[in-house]
Amino acid sequence: MNALEETIAQLSNTAHCTTLCHKQTNNVPMPNTQILGQIVDTLRSILFPGYFGHAISNASMLSYQIGVHIEEVSRLLSEQIFAGFCFSDNTIELQQAHRAAHEATAVFIKRLPMLRDMLGTDVDATFEGDPAAKSCMEVIFCYPIIRAITNYRIAHELLLLDVPLIPRIITEMAHSETGIDIHPGATIGEYFTIDHGTGTVIGETAVIGNHVKIYQGVTLGAKSFPLDQNGKPIKGIPRHPIIEDNVIIYANSTILGRITIGRNAIIGGNMWVDKDVEAGSMITQRRRD
Amino acid sequence: MNALEETIAQLSNTAHCTTLCHKQTNNVPMPNTQILGQIVDTLRSILFPGYFGHAISNASMLSYQIGVHIEEVSRLLSEQIFAGFCFSDNTIELQQAHRAAHEATAVFIKRLPMLRDMLGTDVDATFEGDPAAKSCMEVIFCYPIIRAITNYRIAHELLLLDVPLIPRIITEMAHSETGIDIHPGATIGEYFTIDHGTGTVIGETAVIGNHVKIYQGVTLGAKSFPLDQNGKPIKGIPRHPIIEDNVIIYANSTILGRITIGRNAIIGGNMWVDKDVEAGSMITQRRRD
Amino acid sequence: MNALEETIAQLSNTAHCTTLCHKQTNNVPMPNTQILGQIVDTLRSILFPGYFGHAISNASMLSYQIGVHIEEVSRLLSEQIFAGFCFSDNTIELQQAHRAAHEATAVFIKRLPMLRDMLGTDVDATFEGDPAAKSCMEVIFCYPIIRAITNYRIAHELLLLDVPLIPRIITEMAHSETGIDIHPGATIGEYFTIDHGTGTVIGETAVIGNHVKIYQGVTLGAKSFPLDQNGKPIKGIPRHPIIEDNVIIYANSTILGRITIGRNAIIGGNMWVDKDVEAGSMITQRRRD
Amino acid sequence: MNALEETIAQLSNTAHCTTLCHKQTNNVPMPNTQILGQIVDTLRSILFPGYFGHAISNASMLSYQIGVHIEEVSRLLSEQIFAGFCFSDNTIELQQAHRAAHEATAVFIKRLPMLRDMLGTDVDATFEGDPAAKSCMEVIFCYPIIRAITNYRIAHELLLLDVPLIPRIITEMAHSETGIDIHPGATIGEYFTIDHGTGTVIGETAVIGNHVKIYQGVTLGAKSFPLDQNGKPIKGIPRHPIIEDNVIIYANSTILGRITIGRNAIIGGNMWVDKDVEAGSMITQRRRD
Amino acid sequence: MNALEETIAQLSNTAHCTTLCHKQTNNVPMPNTQILGQIVDTLRSILFPGYFGHAISNASMLSYQIGVHIEEVSRLLSEQIFAGFCFSDNTIELQQAHRAAHEATAVFIKRLPMLRDMLGTDVDATFEGDPAAKSCMEVIFCYPIIRAITNYRIAHELLLLDVPLIPRIITEMAHSETGIDIHPGATIGEYFTIDHGTGTVIGETAVIGNHVKIYQGVTLGAKSFPLDQNGKPIKGIPRHPIIEDNVIIYANSTILGRITIGRNAIIGGNMWVDKDVEAGSMITQRRRD
Amino acid sequence: MNALEETIAQLSNTAHCTTLCHKQTNNVPMPNTQILGQIVDTLRSILFPGYFGHAISNASMLSYQIGVHIEEVSRLLSEQIFAGFCFSDNTIELQQAHRAAHEATAVFIKRLPMLRDMLGTDVDATFEGDPAAKSCMEVIFCYPIIRAITNYRIAHELLLLDVPLIPRIITEMAHSETGIDIHPGATIGEYFTIDHGTGTVIGETAVIGNHVKIYQGVTLGAKSFPLDQNGKPIKGIPRHPIIEDNVIIYANSTILGRITIGRNAIIGGNMWVDKDVEAGSMITQRRRD
């Protein structure tokens, strides 16, 4: 038991674990993944009324529910954004962080109708692109892409509002649930869909047009990245592909670097692509024989 | 705050969100993924007694437990199937939907002993096919394929009983937990196993024989699908591969279209296959040199 | 309802389900994935103080928290290891199993400071290897590899202490959450990282050096495995690759068999490799043209 | 263990436990005290906005919250009333029970504004009658009488709508929490209060005017009750006291039988009263000396 | 904060708090009121089938449920009795405590059918004695006496088996919920009931015959108790009243000392009685006038 | 349904419900009884180590646990005191309220060792005063007085620190659980005990010396209270009894007004006392005969 106390003392020696131990000004809340999960769930009920939570049987009831949900999201999200600010910058002035969190939340809430419109196009694209889909209802209720694209579109809006940390937590939740890893910094147009989706990766600086369809295991990644004079990767440089409108990329293909896949191009399965692809072209693996 | 009320009003305007808002006849329950998760967990305790939940120490205790579990599944599943019927068809006659849900549940329950037999063959195949497996116990307790194939076999039986929506929700649960995406419509024989499994996709019309072994990242997908006169994909056409008995498909290979992989064939890793493969043949990638 | 009773009787017939039904000596606890999840969560709070759970505002508070967490882990883990011993061996002598569980737990606890040092190198490698990473905090809070490598390093220590079953359950938890499947038997050096990670597989006998970086969808697998005279795979033979220091393996490549990828080698994306690769060499797919 | 099975068989012998075993038509829900507790809690948030649950910061938010709470109460209460009908009468026609439950719920909801007005008078009386009360807020938040009278007024309305069983469950909840036992059948006027309250009993046929104040341990009980020809008490006969306006009854007094305590009368502590008391009179125990 | 650490050090100084700090041999479980609550709830479902928990729709289902409940009670109660032995006696030999706990549990389980018979008489007495009771169902579902007498009869059986601490915890649960305080050591005959019940106290050595009815606020207490040579009360001496068959005691009366209230006697309300009362007599307070 | 909307509108009309509707400055938390319950439970584990929560097996472990518990109480209590300030005074300056809450919490924490000493005397008095008590352990674990006096002593300290609302909530929790109603404003000396306790009331300005013992149903109340010129009771005037050292008051007696019960006096059961009682005297009810 003495050994136990010694181990405890070693593990409590904060001088020793500078990166791994996070100290925080007293009384400031921490970002909380459980509450962020609750926020995303509530947003889902707002964006897809009548699918998650109780049935909607009439329009006036709907407005009461949305009112309460919006109030809840405003309160909780504002706290979490505040926590994100404080967690990311120990020297931030609290009063100002509160105000900034409050403002970012208000702008975000105003953009929810636009977000719902975008998600409506994703649902359509998913339903029309999959012969196995029985109805839009099934798509909304079950398809991983809808969960992943919802989290991404929420996170992307927050990132545009300069909210730190929180957007990445939100896309990683969807990554864990669906195997679809979309960085919140990516730019994605309307009518986007990914079929099956497990293993798909969309990098931070990727730009995707409208009506693009991707399959499972596709990577839109960086090929290499320039290092600074200390040999560390330089952050923020565009290094992921640009995918133009109407492109289809089949399963397990890997598209690397700041290349452009032109409009209407089709990339077959299991391809490795690191050069531009002309609009309208179709590239596939040659068969073994 | 006025802006908030305006946003709430916009989001409550149901005329505007026809696909994304689901209205339902008053007082009819919704399919509930949490309850469906509980149903699947209870079925797992029935099918693998003594693994999940309390230890089994004697046979008479086992029958009490199975009796209670079966009673619970009957009650909850019948409600969820009823909810599935109502959710999928707003005009359904409630009395009739209740009766149909009750009957489908009764037939499903009767098929559980057969389901357990099938799963027993999958456990054997998984144990014997993996040198890293220490015991059948470890396989049942930890292996993702056992979770995925259990959900698939449950969902497939429900699909055969014309239950809407619920089967897909059940396989997508396993997809989220394991990264293995098996459509409930696929047909899969005895002694089936998938090693590791993340990223494996088995499409709706795939047909898989007995003693088939697949690895992670394998896709049994559709290559293309015929469109109707409106340019929409025609639903229900066979478009995924037929995999005959004793076939092995290694990691990350993509098998596309209504082709046949003949008995005893072996497909190497990272292959892209869209033509029939003869029985007994072995195809692999040529190495770079 | 008579049919129901008959089904219950069939399902309770334990003679019929020998592999699928686990009987256990009375009153011995079962391994419990929920409690194991709680143990891993508590270990995470110990290893990364101030990230998960409450904020740390001062050093003496930290030591109280770590003391309580260590006490909790000691108690719960000792019970679970005991349960693992009993589950894996029905004939074990209980007193001795208790003692062995207690001792294994004590040794494991002593190794936590070393584990934290190792994880510190993994965090550094992950942060420095990804231009999208904003800070080590973001890496610790959100990156799937940190979750996966933490579970692996915990499980690997337990495996070295001959704890059955529990290590595999712990790595499979991370597999389910991240899509990264690392067998607890693998050997992994310092400064290890996997980017994105979904679909990556690291087999039981793989050996990985220091400063190795892997991407999503990479398999370090077995090519084939010798069978014994009954046609069953022989367990425990080295059959997975050796990856030397400073190697990089890009997305979706499949490395199979007991081959060696030499120091500083780079393996491009979507490769299929089943022969040794020389130190310092770089192999990539030829492009289609 | 054989003994165990025998005990189980004995306990399952329903022929033997006719009163103690309740059988119910299949699939009809049971009255559920947990859900009834949730209903009462939600009603409390509706009746006392801003006290229980989240803070109210503006009027439009309040209407969303009340809308959602009313919807929830309507749905849950209707189910519980239905369950009450079925539990109390095994032969009831289900369709009709549903309709009756729905109608009773609708009438009850309409009476909530009146209920709130009544409770407002009780809060005033409680605050003004207790020098220890610091504010109406403290009274609403902490005083047992407010909890007890709220449950009573809810239950009494339901009793007037001929709802079986549920009203008594609701008043017994308050009895358990506060020690105040008010039968839902009692009639109680405005501005009613009980100080401290533990042990106070108000019987089924008691009639209490306006501005009445009672202390802890007071019983308004039946002295004796006529038996029918089988020696069983005849149900429903008025047998508890009538307490007219402005009466005060001090601690631990026992008032028995269908007597009348006239307007403005004061009954001292520890009295035993079984005869009418004239309006305006004051009766107290003579002291020992 | 330094002050905080000092306070923590003071509070951790176990030398200082000998009575208030309970030390326990490592790894022995503690009596747990939450689990004891669960045990009593499960016993209630066994004793009153179809009232608490799910509806009972047929006899074979009932036997499965009772089987599972009995199994659960056996397991949990045995652990709690063991915990009770260890908590009460730090020097107990563990192996022997386990055996004793197991045996006491087995005997207790065998007595459940007898317990149900006794409780059946209490339900009858309660229903027949209260004109406000609408049905035996209402009595079982709502009446505090049924909850209190159930806990008492369970606790009394355990006390007869020399189980320490646990019986008192069980009766105090009912005391908290109902305000009825029956010591588990009291002896109570068949057809017992208490109306309303808040404030009723029945002491450790009280002896109550058959068909006794008591009202709220009645005390069956000790008048004084002999002290030993250290001035401490001598434990275990009979010091509470004997109440013979068919006695009625009205509200708030206090019966003190080892006196006998003879058969068929009636004690009025608010009486103070410390001498024997003859069989058949009736004593009441004289009225003030 | 239109009727429903109308009811919702009526219930949302805040102009109409001024006393019953509490509005609060945005973003300020509400006092939360659930969190206050958690705070009291944690204080109980600190004050009685090894009784509630996990077993204590050694002294260093104890200090970790107390450290963590003290940290938790400090954080949560400070928030609740802040909420209490804001709830009670809408115009309070937030910064100042935070500081005051923080300071009150710090002083309260420092007083915990003294509180534990006081409670130690109460445990002794309870054990020695009850022949039915088997051990101090049983007293601490089960006796309602220990729960009630613990809550009272905590609440009384907070009241002395001018904390509004919270102290009363804490004593009312104990009132609900035990039926013992002690106002936090009362003054109570060492070695205090109440036997059984249901229905005992101790008023706001009561003063109780050392070694006082009270039984169930005893009221220390106000006889009457002066009204101000508006006919409202004047708050804060001493109006409850003074009970000097070593007094015993038996069950169901009512002591009213600012009278003094002198040292060593004994008050029998069911008495009504509204005049001073001399030191050493003994008053009891004359018997009926």
**pLDDT, tens digit, for every residue of B198-255?**
999 999 999 999 999 999 999 999 987 777 888 777 888 999 999 999 999 999 999 9
Nearest to D73 by CA among D49, D39, D50: D39
Q: List C-alpha distances in Å: D183 to A35, D162, D175, D258, E176.
A: 43, 15, 10, 16, 20
Give me A223's structure tokens.
């090929």
Alpha-carbon distance A136 to nearest alpha carbon in chain F (angstroms)? 29
Q: Where are the beta strands (DSSP E) in chain B?
A: 181-182, 187-188, 193-195, 201-202, 207-208, 213-215, 219-221, 242-243, 248-249, 254-256, 260-261, 266-267, 272-273, 282-283
Contacts of F251 in chain E (CB under 8 A): 201, 219, 221, 254
Nearest to D261 by CA among D197, D190, D209: D209
Mean pLDDT of all residues in chain C? 91
CA pair distance A261, A266, nearest whole angstrom: 9
The answer to whether the CB of E149 falls within 8 A of the CB of E184 is no
Q: Is the pLDDT of residue E55 over 80?
A: no
Q: Which residues pair with D215 in a beta bridge?
A: D195
With CA atoms as reference, the chain F residue closest to D51 would be F22
CA pair distance A2, C47, nearest whole angstrom: 20
For testing the chain A interface, which of F6, F7, F27 should be mutated: the one with the most A CBs within 10 Å?
F27
Within 10 angstroms of residue A285's Cβ, the number of other Cβ atoms is 22
Share in percent of chain F as helix, strand, coil (round to 5)? 45, 15, 40
The answer to whether the CB of C203 falls within 8 A of the CB of C221 is yes
Q: Is the pLDDT of residue A285 over 80?
A: no
The whole-number pLDDT of residue B17 equals 64
Nearest to C1 among E5, E58, E75 (CB): E58
What is the mean predicted confidence (pLDDT) over E137-141? 92
Contacts of C64 in chain E (CB under 8 A): 8
Q: Is the pLDDT of residue D287 over 70?
A: no
Residues in chain A: 289
Query: In this predicted model, what pLDDT tens digit does every residue of D164-198 receive, in sequence order?
Result: 999 999 999 999 999 999 999 999 999 999 999 99
Q: Is the pLDDT of residue C287 over 80?
A: no
Touching subunits for chain A (3+ Cβ pairs under 8 A): B, C, D, F
Q: Is the pLDDT of residue D235 over 60?
A: yes
The answer to whether the CB of F65 falls within 8 A of the CB of D114 is no
Contacts of E23 in chain F (CB under 8 A): 50, 56-57
- Specify the higher pLDDT residue, E288 or F115: F115
For testing the chain D interface, which of B7, B26, B60 should be mutated: the one with the most D CBs within 10 Å?
B60
Alpha-carbon distance B136 to nearest alpha carbon in chain C (angstroms)? 7
- The answer to whether D14 contacts E144, with C-beta atoms less than 8 Å apart, is no
Q: Is the pLDDT of residue B286 over 70?
A: no
Alpha-carbon distance B1 to nearest alpha carbon in chain C (angstroms)? 32
Nearest to F5 among A1, A60, A75 (CB): A60
The answer to whether the CB of A152 falls within 8 A of the CB of A208 is no
Q: D173-186 burial, b for 16+ CB within 10 Å, e for fewer?
A: bbbbbbbbbbbbbb
SS3 A124: helix
- The answer to whether A57 contacts B283, with C-beta atoms less than 8 Å apart, is no
Give me F33's structure tokens.
């009884």
Query: In this predicted model, what pLDDT tens digit does every residue of B73-112 receive, in sequence order?
Result: 999 999 999 999 988 887 888 889 999 999 999 999 999 9
Q: Is the pLDDT of residue A1 over 70?
A: no
What is the mean predicted confidence (pLDDT) over C16-24? 74
The answer to whether the CB of D203 falls within 8 A of the CB of D221 is yes
Q: Is the pLDDT of residue B256 over 80?
A: yes
Backbone angles phi, psi at F165, to 5 degrees: 65, -50
Nearest to A154 by CA among A186, A126, A115: A115
CA pair distance D134, D132, nearest whole angstrom: 6
With CA atoms as reference, the chain D residue closest to A57 would be D71
The whole-number pLDDT of residue A289 equals 43
Positions in chain F short of pLDDT 50: 288-289
What is the mean predicted confidence (pLDDT) over A161-172? 97
Percent of chain E residues topping a pLDDT of 90: 71
Contacts of E273 in chain F (CB under 8 A): 287
The answer to whether the CB of B264 falls within 8 A of the CB of B247 is yes
Give me the long-range contacts of F122-127 (CB less than 8 A, separation at least 24).
F122/F146, F122/F149, F122/F190, F122/F191, F122/F192, F122/F193, F123/E19, F123/E20, F124/E19, F124/F191, F125/F191, F125/F192, F125/F193, F125/F211, F125/F213, F126/F193
Nearest to E71 among B64, B71, B75 (CB): B64
Nearest to F123 by CA among F113, F132, F133: F133
Alpha-carbon distance D108 to nearest alpha carbon in chain E (angstroms)? 22
Touching subunits for chain C (3+ Cβ pairs under 8 A): A, B, E, F
Nearest to A200 by CA among E219, B198, B161: B198
Single-letter amino acid, residue C235: K
Contacts of B60 in chain D (CB under 8 A): 1, 5
Q: Is the pLDDT of residue E10 over 50?
A: yes
Confidence of residue A21 (pLDDT cuts 50, 70, 90): confident
The answer to whether the CB of E212 falls within 8 A of the CB of E192 is yes
With CA atoms as reference, the chain A residue closest to F61 would be A5
Query: Does the ipTM exceed 0.95?
Result: no
What is the mean predicted confidence (pLDDT) over D123-132? 93
With CA atoms as reference, the chain F residue closest to A28 would be F75
Give the DSSP letter of residue D196.
S
Q: Is the pLDDT of residue C3 over 90?
A: no
Nearest to D242 by CA among D271, D282, D212: D212
How many helices and strands in chain D, by DSSP H and E?
8, 14
Touching subunits for chain F (3+ Cβ pairs under 8 A): A, C, D, E
Nearest to F194 by CA among F126, F135, F252: F126
Q: Which residues have a Cβ under 8 Å from the Cβ of D207 and sit 6 or more positions away? A: D186, D187, D240, D241, D242, D243
Give me B222's structure tokens.
């559709």
Alpha-carbon distance B95 to nearest alpha carbon in chain E (angstroms)? 20
Q: Which residues have a Cβ under 8 Å from the Cβ of C260 and sit 6 or more positions away? A: C241, C242, C244, C276, C277
With CA atoms as reference, the chain D residue closest to E176 would be D176
Q: List C-alpha distances in Å: B191 to A171, B128, B246, B278.
A: 37, 10, 9, 22
Nearest to E46 among D11, D181, D235 (CB): D11
Nearest to C120 among A20, A22, A169 (CB): A20
Nearest to F1 among A8, A27, A58 (CB): A58
The whole-number pLDDT of residue C286 equals 60
The whole-number pLDDT of residue A163 equals 97
Q: List C-alpha distances in Å: A274 to A48, A224, C194, C198.
A: 38, 11, 21, 21
Give me F153's structure tokens.
């002593």
With CA atoms as reference, the chain A residue closest to F58 would be A1
Contacts of B67 in chain C (CB under 8 A): 5, 8, 12
The answer to whether the CB of E236 falls within 8 A of the CB of F131 is yes
What is the mean predicted confidence (pLDDT) over C127-154? 94
The whole-number pLDDT of residue C16 equals 63
Residues in chain C: 289
Nearest to B56 among C10, C23, C181 (CB): C23
What is the mean predicted confidence (pLDDT) over B118-135? 94
User: Tokens 């107390």 map to which residue?
Assistant: F66
Share in percent of chain A as helix, strand, coil (round to 5)? 45, 15, 40
Query: What is the pTM for the complete model shown?
Result: 0.94
Q: Is the pLDDT of residue A147 over 80?
A: yes
The answer to whether the CB of B33 falls within 8 A of the CB of B40 is no
SS3 C193: strand
- The answer to whether D138 contacts F168, with C-beta atoms less than 8 Å apart, is yes
How many CB pairs lie under 8 A apart between chains C and E?
A: 10
Q: Where are the beta strands (DSSP E) in chain A?
A: 181-182, 187-188, 193-195, 201-202, 207-208, 213-215, 219-221, 242-243, 248-249, 254-256, 260-261, 266-267, 272-273, 282-283
CA pair distance B33, B38, nearest whole angstrom: 9
- The answer to whether C269 contacts A11, with C-beta atoms less than 8 Å apart, is no
Alpha-carbon distance C157 to nearest alpha carbon in chain E (angstroms)? 24
Alpha-carbon distance B232 to nearest alpha carbon in chain C (angstroms)? 32
CA pair distance C285, C273, nearest whole angstrom: 11
The whole-number pLDDT of residue A7 equals 92
What is the mean predicted confidence (pLDDT) over C86-110? 91
The whole-number pLDDT of residue B232 equals 78
CA pair distance D112, C141, nearest whole angstrom: 48
The whole-number pLDDT of residue F156 equals 98
CA pair distance F168, D143, nearest whole angstrom: 9
Nearest to C19 by CA among A145, B51, F135: B51
User: Tokens 């652990």 map to which residue?
Assistant: E79
What is the mean predicted confidence (pLDDT) over E195-211? 97
The whole-number pLDDT of residue F92 equals 86
Q: Is the pLDDT of residue A155 over 60?
A: yes
- The answer to whether C68 contacts F68, with C-beta atoms less than 8 Å apart, is yes
Confidence of residue B158 (pLDDT cuts 50, 70, 90): very high
SS3 E94: helix
How many CB pairs lie under 8 A apart between chains A and D?
A: 35
SS3 assignment for D132-179? CCCCHHHHHHHCHHHHHHHHHHHHHHHHHCCCCCHHHHHHHHHHHHHC
The answer to whether the CB of E203 falls within 8 A of the CB of F133 is no
The whole-number pLDDT of residue C53 equals 72
Alpha-carbon distance D74 to nearest alpha carbon in chain F (angstroms)? 10
Q: List C-alpha distances in Å: E59 to C5, D14, D28, D44, E65.
A: 11, 7, 17, 41, 10
Confidence of residue A14 (pLDDT cuts 50, 70, 90): confident
With CA atoms as reference, the chain A residue closest to F74 would be A27
With CA atoms as reference, the chain B residue closest to C202 would be B196
The whole-number pLDDT of residue F264 equals 97
Alpha-carbon distance F77 to nearest alpha carbon in chain A (angstroms)? 12
Contacts of F75 in chain C (CB under 8 A): 54
Alpha-carbon distance A15 to nearest alpha carbon in chain F (angstroms)? 20
Contacts of E121 in chain D (CB under 8 A): none
